[in-house]
Structure 1
Amino acid sequence: MDNNLDDIFSALGDPTRRAVIAQLMEGPAPVSQLHAPHDMALPSFLKHLGKLEAVGLVRSHKIGRVRMVHIEAAPMARAEAWLKQHRRLWEGRLDRLSALAEDLEKESNDGRI
């Protein structure tokens, strides 16, 4: 299992897999319930689950004849931490850009009066 951020973001790059993660945020669910809203063959859907499981975003276990899937918090927390770090960086850059634009506009308006 590789919890590399590239692999995590790659897995989350697909809308079907993001929808599965969203469903699992509500709690564990059987594969059949996760598959139901998706218009694709079960083997294709299972490949999506396999990708999520391979990067550690979900885990599954069998209860009788039912395979239950649940979300794993640690990889999502790593991705969230990365996003927060970069959000702070870009917000700082955008704040500086906004301040520069305001200064330029003020200078431009002062020159016209």
Structure 2
Amino acid sequence: MMRLARLPGVKAASPFYLKRVYFRSGSIEEYVNLIAVDPRVLKLILPDLELGEGTMLQPNDLGTVSLGYKIAHPPEDPNKRVNLYSSITIDIQEGSTIKSSTFMVGGIFKEFGSTPYLEAEKE
């Protein structure tokens, strides 16, 4: 990673985790993309990403997540919403085992859209 970071023109290099997970909060249940990255480099990687509510995560915020706009405000049902500071659960399939983890919503990003590589909100 350090080698990549030293290449000319590279502003940031960071490992990340990307996985399709089952998301639950209240009456909202759907598959979403989980993207985990060091929050200190997030603004360098996605400079147009803006926080709409809450606060930016810090590296030690292990029980807190930030949600994409379309996950917090499902476009298919405008009456549903995930609120700031509410609890969410994600189910991650690992082989034949499903691991559930619960987090508090500490931030909700403004609507962002896609990058050339990834639909950052939802698929």
TM superposition score category, shorter chain reference: under 0.3
Structure with higher helix content: 1
Q: State TM-score, norm by structure 1.
A: 0.25
Structure with higher strand content: 2
Structure whose CA Rg is larger:
1
Q: State TM-score, norm by structure 2.
A: 0.24
